Amino acid sequence: MAALLNGLFGGSKPSASPIPAGDSDFADFAGAPDPEPVPNSAIPSAATYTGLTAAPTGQAAPYTKWYNIHERHSLSEFKQEGVILGLIFVIVLVHMYGTSTNRNKAKKWISAHAPSLRKEFALVGFGGRRAPTASEVESDGLAKTLASDSLSLPEELLKEKSPQEFGAYATGRQNVAFVDITLTLLKRYNPLTLIAEFGMSLFFDSMPAPSERVEVVLYPFDGREALIVPGQAPGAQELRKDKSGYDGFVWAIVNKDNMKSLRNDRYDVSLTGTKDNSKLPNWVTVMSESAEVTDFLLTPELIKVVEEAGDILEYMVITDQPIDKPTKLDETVPKKRMYLSLKFPSSGYEKAIPLFEYFLRLPDQLVQGAHFRPEVMRKVKQTREDQIKRLQKADEDEKAEERAFEREKAKKLKRDLELKGLDAKAQKKYLEKEKEKEMRKAAKRQTQKG
C-alpha cells in the first residue's frame, strides 16, 4: 500500500523487486529503463508537416501553389456557371421589363377612363373611395374635383390578377348593379411562351393569336334591387320592377373580323341572324333576333361613337342568354348582361372613350324604351321555349333510362335470390324455362318486324 501511494503522489521510486526464477514471461522486461519525457526541441513544428515534401526534421517545406486559391484556379474553369448566371440575369431582367411595361400600360388606360367611371358610378376601384358629391362638384368644379381625388392613384383603381391581366370594378349607379373590367395584355414577361403562341396560331385555327383587349361586363338590376342592394324594403322589388326592368333579347354589333369566332364561341349570339346595315361602317355588322330591336338600339349617337372608335371595337353584345349552351333546365333562366370588347390601343386611349361612356349609359336607354310589342317578343321567346322543350325531353329520357335500369337491377337481384334458394336440378329447370321464354320473345319481335 505504501508503494502504491508513493507512485501516485510522486514519492521516491521503489527498488526493483526481484523476479522469481521460475517466471520466465517477465524476464525480458526486468532490465528495461524507466521512460523519460522528450524535450520540446525534438518535437517537429507544425510547418514541417505541411506540403507534399514535408519531413519530420524541423526543416521548412518548399513553396507551392496550394497556399493561394487564385493560383490554383482560374475563371476559365467556371464557364458553365457563368453562362447559367448570365441566363438567369437575362430572364429576371426580361421578366421585370415585361411586368413593368404591362403595369404602365394598364395604369395609363385606367387613368384615361377613370373620369368616365367616376362620373357614372359612386364607387370605382378597390380603394374604398367614393365619387365626388354634387356639392363638391358645384363648389370646386368637376375637373378640379376629379384631379384632386383618387385618380392620381391608379393602383387603387386596378387589381393585378396576373402579370398580363388586370381588373377594375365600379358600382353605385341607377339601373346598374356593377361593372367588371378586365385588361388582358401580352405576355411580355415570357417571350418564349409568347413566340410559341404566335407560332401555334399560324398552324391551328382553334388557337387565336395573342392579342391585347379590354373586356367590360355590365350587370343591370333588371328590377332586382331588393335582392342585391342591402337595406331595401321587402316590397321594393315590385315597386322598382317597372323602373329598372326591360324585355330580354340578344343583340350585338360586331366587327366582321370577329363575327365567325363570336358565333362559334357564344351560344347566345348563335340565336341571332346577321344583317348589314347601311347606316354603319362596312367593317361592322348587326346580329339581332328582331328588326324592331335593331331599329330601337341603332341610334345616331351609337353610330357616331362606333365610327369614332374605328376598328378598336371588337363587339358589343346585349343578352339575356348564357354564353355556353345550356345542358340543364336551371341553366336556361334568363340573366341579363352587356358585353363590350375593345382592342387595347397602343396609343390614343381617348379614341374609344365616347363608345365606352355610351356603353355605361346604355342601361338607361333599355329601361326607358326596351319594351316591345307582344308580337316581337313572341318570336324571341319561341327560340328559348324550343330549347327548354329539348332539354325537358332529354331530361325525361334520362330519367326513364334510370328507371328502366333500376327495374332491371331489381329484377336481376330477385332472379339471383330465387336461383340461390333452389337445388341443382331445380336451377337447371329454371334456366331452361327462362331460355325458352327469351326465345319466344325474340320470335315475337321478329314476327312484328316482318
Average pLDDT of the segment spanning 431-445: 82
- Whether residue 193 is predicted with pLDDT greater than 80 in this model: the reply is yes
pLDDT score for 74 = 81
- Domain range annotation of the chain: 205-401
pLDDT digits (tens, 9 = 90+) for 311-363: 899 999 999 999 998 888 888 888 999 999 999 987 777 888 999 999 999 99
pLDDT score for 176 = 92
Closest residue by Cα to residue 320 from 248, 272, 256: 248
> pTM for the complete prediction?
0.71
| Helices 374-420 + 424-449 axis angle, to 10 | 150
pLDDT score for 295 = 92
Distances in Å between the alpha carbon of 132 and those of 51, 113, 139?
A: 83, 16, 11
Confidence grade of residue 165 (pLDDT, cut at 50, 70, 90):
very high
pLDDT digits (tens, 9 = 90+) for 110-161: 989 999 999 999 999 886 555 555 555 455 554 455 444 444 456 688 899 9
Cell of 51: 506540403
pLDDT score for 133 = 53
pLDDT score for 236 = 47
Q: What is the mean pLDDT of the chain?
A: 80
Closest residue by Cα to residue 180 from 214, 212, 218, 154: 218
Average pLDDT of the segment spanning 43-47: 50
pLDDT digits (tens, 9 = 90+) for 206-248: 788 899 999 999 999 887 776 766 655 555 444 444 577 899 9
Share of the chain above pLDDT 70, in %: 74
Average pLDDT of the segment spanning 414-418: 83
Average pLDDT of the segment spanning 261-271: 91
The CA-to-CA distance between both ends of the chain, in Å, stands at 129
Pair 312, 345: CB distance under 8 Å: yes
Average pLDDT of the segment spanning 251-258: 93
Average pLDDT of the segment spanning 365-387: 88
Closest residue by Cα to residue 336 from 177, 168, 161: 177
